[in-house]
Structure 1
């Protein structure tokens, strides 16, 4: 009897250990590390040469937001494309109007800061490993919907980094990585809407998310930009307070 039950006991113990590892809490990092990770995130957002590379991560969150809300609103997600100029395209099938289409269109620019806000909440609750595993799972699911080579390579590199850090890195490295990612989403989520406004003033981006929303709702695009800015700035303020423990 003991020999037969031993494997089951070992398996149950392993599952318990895995559950504790993922959903348990980890020690909060030192305050200096929280500040330094915020500075690091800002350092890859402000310089233009670094931003044209790091912005790909914001595009992943942007297009992922479109795709997730499309599915939640009952639309059929056809695929996602990520481009080397940091633009992206999410194609879904369904009614070309109505609340589902409106929510899908509005999800892009609001997704990165809201993801950052959710990540800040998890970090404030000391769920560092859970954050990394959840992010890895979302990236792997999104990879299935990618429909171009550049997008697939980008997702494999990004998802691979999260997978390696969450599985192999020590707790200090995991904490530093998680805080950099969340700071990046919060800080980097503010910039794209301002860039889009500047591009529209120069006559570009005639079919932007704000313009699509304006046509769908008959609400001026300026009000949709106000929404994008309000969500990103409020998320930065709220998420920053959680991260800093204020």
Structure 2
């Protein structure tokens, strides 16, 4: 039996069940710090685009779940995106579709954190992500930049699934999960604004749409979304560590 690693600070062995939590927190902290740097968003540019993709798909999938039709989405080089849907889900449904985009990255990221605890799943998940991106391009992506980026991202994930070992695959999954879980940090201004520039045009923010449907001010819904995002991250971390212990 292999002994757990030695912690010089306490002169004790570190229990193996504590290692996943430290590793996950380290990746999350690193991403959070980089995003606060002056050029942090540029350093994480491809990952930021993936977070935008998850955001827009969150709108579309929520619309589908509520009986509406997901028309298309575009992904712009400046990191913005726009999802188009059609239907009459009502005031509450419209608010839920707006919230779906804001919360989808956190939900997807937390799910990846949990699933990354099983090494045998890691490479399969990378391949699944790559295949899903190809499907997204075929069904909904409607601009050249979005198509090119998502196809390149799909190729990366497929090649990673084929070439990486289990440890490398887990690292990639955790990196993607951390970016998705914390992507709301780069959208704080957006969540607490009434409008935003998307593709050079002004559009109502998601929280403003929620405010129009549910009457309370947009900054209130921005606070609700930020709180829920943190709660989803905490829940994902708890399940990830608990899964390792089991």
**TM-score (structure 2 length as normaliser):** 0.76
Q: Is residue 37–residue 176 contact of structure 1 (8 Å, CA) maintained in 2?
A: no
Is 1:151–2:141 an aligned residue pair?
Answer: no
Is 1:65–2:62 an aligned residue pair?
Answer: no
* Offset, 1:212: 1.0
**What's 1:41 paired with?**
31
**What's 2:3 paired with?**
none
* Offset, 1:33: 5.4
1:50 to 24, 32, 40: 40
2:218 to 211, 221, 230: 221
Is 1:207–2:200 an aligned residue pair?
Answer: no
Q: Is residue 126–residue 161 contact of structure 2 (8 Å, CA) maintained in 1?
A: yes
Choose between structure 1 and 2: higher strand proportion.
Answer: 2
Is 1:175–2:165 an aligned residue pair?
Answer: no
**What's 2:156 paired with?**
161
Q: Distance in 2 between matches of 1:108 and 1:202?
A: 15
Q: Secondary structure at the match of 1:78?
A: strand
Q: Secondary structure at the match of 1:189?
A: helix
Let me know the Cα RMSD of the aligned residues. 3.1
**TM-score (structure 1 length as normaliser):** 0.76
Q: Secondary structure at the match of 1:84?
A: coil
Q: Distance in 1 between matches of 2:73 and 2:234?
A: 30
**What's 1:233 paired with?**
230
Q: Select between 225-234 and 118-127 the one with higher mean Cα deviation.
A: 118-127
**What's 1:114 paired with?**
107
Change (3 A) 1:172 1:210: same
User: Aligned pairs, how many?
Assistant: 218
Structure 2: any 5+ residue segments left out of the alignment? Answer: 1-16
**What's 2:5 paired with?**
none
Change (3 A) 1:134 1:99: farther
Structure 1: any 5+ residue segments left out of the alignment? Answer: 1-27
Q: Distance in 1 between matches of 2:34 and 2:240?
A: 19
- How big is each residue's C-alpha offset from its partner over 1:152-194, in whole Å with a ceiling of 9 and x where there is no partner? 11211222211111122222211111111112211223431x1
2:127 to 130, 133, 140: 133
Q: Distance in 1 between matches of 2:192 and 2:217?
A: 17
Q: Distance in 2 between matches of 1:171 and 1:125?
A: 9
Q: Distance in 2 between matches of 1:160 and 1:186?
A: 23
